[in-house]
Amino acid sequence: MVIKRKSICVITFPPMKAGFTPLSNLIDILTSSSNEIYLITGNESYHHFAGNKHIHLYGIFHSKGNGSVNRIKNYICTHLKIAHLFLKIIRKVDVCIFFLGGEMQILSLIPAKLFKIKTVTIVSGVSIKYEKDILSKIVTKLCTVNFNLVDKIILYSPRLINEWNFEKYSNKILIAPRHFLDFSNFNLSVEFSQRSDFIGYVGRLSEEKGIINFIESIPIILKQKPYLNILIIGDGDLKSNVDKYLSQNGLENNVKLVGWSFREDLPKYLNSLKLLVIPSYTEGLPNVMLEAMACGTPVLATGVGAIPDIINDEETGFIMENNSPECIAKNVFRAMKHPNLEHVVENSHSFVNDNFTYNKAVERYSEILHNIQ
């Protein structure tokens, strides 16, 4: 049964494009679990949600800036802007959810606590340890304060408690993936047997995603499979590194680098692949893994985050021991030569169709909101 709440405010730091789908999914779910939804976000995310009649939208603009001093100054200013917007609506809010960088919003969390508003942080991933500058150290401290003060912490899987060293917060942790798929968009449109030898990577081009490991595996893979084609979809801080490596190693003929893909185009790409590789160092529960499975594309991934909850090796996909280039190449060969690969495809397709519907997601979050009350 859906439990209606008076009002919920979702606060994010202005996310990258990769955050639009997770945030959209969360807003869609909460719309069925609340009478009023307030969303405080920024930059392109604000424009993405503009016109959504189901929410009250408040936006700010964040500029990253050049150099550590400007980055820190702009970062603090953005937090102040977000807190200012939140204070305008604070008396209308019963539950405040921090998401996509929201775990750093201490300037909004403190007044929420003072006004006795229930506070929740949804942790979708931990990538801060891959950043080395002073701002990242500040962010780490802010996250620690948030996790200590917030009423509840939502994780996508119980596996993440140990993996992310969250044992000390175990008394406030709730488990609930907010994932669901639009099966009218993500579906099998090209039979697996009709696809060419084409493997791919879809995701942010950043260190924690293992993209450098993946591109360094390509020469090893091509030594054994010289006619294999590789698709890379994504954008991020390491894009120039990826471009440079592909150019220096003469890989342009085998590798297609697409850049960012709109959601409506992604099913077409996924339906062209015989294998999607997710070589991440850390993950929550990657949307693209579920989307690939819905499109009948087997997934090869490192066993991090909630991935092993979904992928049972050689049953619903493939798990690799680590994400070294050599290990990636070895497991690409293993997956593509698997004698029952089409059976793996059928299993994974059935799994996501059974477990990641909109109704299932609404049920999970209705129970979460009930427990928060």
The full set of domains in the chain, from first to last, is: 8-180+357-372 (3.40.50.2000), 192-355 (3.40.50.2000)
201 Cβ neighbours under 8 A, 6+ residues apart: 211, 214, 230, 231, 232, 233, 234, 276, 277, 278, 279
- Sign of the Cα pseudo-torsion (121, 62, 23, 19, in order): negative
Furthest-apart CA pair in the chain: how many Å? Answer: 64
**pLDDT for residue 4 is more than 80:** no
The three-class DSSP label of residue 333 is: helix
For residue 128, the model assigns a pLDDT of 47
Among 136-140, 197-201, 223-227, 229-233, name the one with the lowest average pLDDT: 136-140
Mean pLDDT calculated for residue range 22-50 = 91
**pLDDT for residue 231 is more than 50:** yes
C-alpha span between 200 and 202 (Å, rounded): 7
The three-class DSSP label of residue 128 is: helix
Indicate the average pLDDT of the chain: 91
C-alpha span between 98 and 339 (Å, rounded): 45
Tokens of 250: 């003469």
Per-residue pLDDT of 246-261, as tens digits, reads 999 999 999 999 888 7
Mean pLDDT calculated for residue range 126-143 = 67
Q: Which residues pair with 97 in a beta bridge?
A: 10, 120
211: nearest Cα among 222, 221, 201, 223? 201
For residue 131, the model assigns a pLDDT of 53
For residue 373, the model assigns a pLDDT of 64
- C-alpha angle with apex 155: 121 to 299, nearest 5 degrees? 135
Q: Where are the alpha helices (DSSP H) in 225-324?
A: 239-248, 266-270, 287-294, 307-310
Q: Where are the alpha helices (DSSP H) in the chain?
A: 20-31, 44-49, 67-89, 106-114, 134-149, 159-163, 211-224, 239-248, 266-270, 287-294, 307-310, 325-336, 341-355, 358-372
Among 12-21, 67-76, 124-133, 162-171, name the one with the lowest average pLDDT: 124-133
C-alpha span between 225 and 7 (Å, rounded): 56
The half-sphere exposure of 296 on its side-chain side, counting CA atoms within 13 A, is 16
Among 70-74, 119-123, 302-306, name the one with the lowest average pLDDT: 70-74
Starting from the edge strand earliest in sequence, which strands make up the sheet with 95-98, in order?
56-60, 37-42, 8-11, 95-98, 118-122, 152-155, 173-175
232: nearest Cα among 272, 259, 264, 194? 259
Q: Are 366 and 2 in contact (CB under 8 A)?
A: yes
Mean pLDDT calculated for residue range 130-139 = 65
Q: Are 11 and 102 in contact (CB under 8 A)?
A: yes
**Length of the chain as a residue count:** 373
Going by pLDDT thresholds of 50, 70 and 90, the confidence category of residue 12 is very high
Tokens of 233: 């979809």
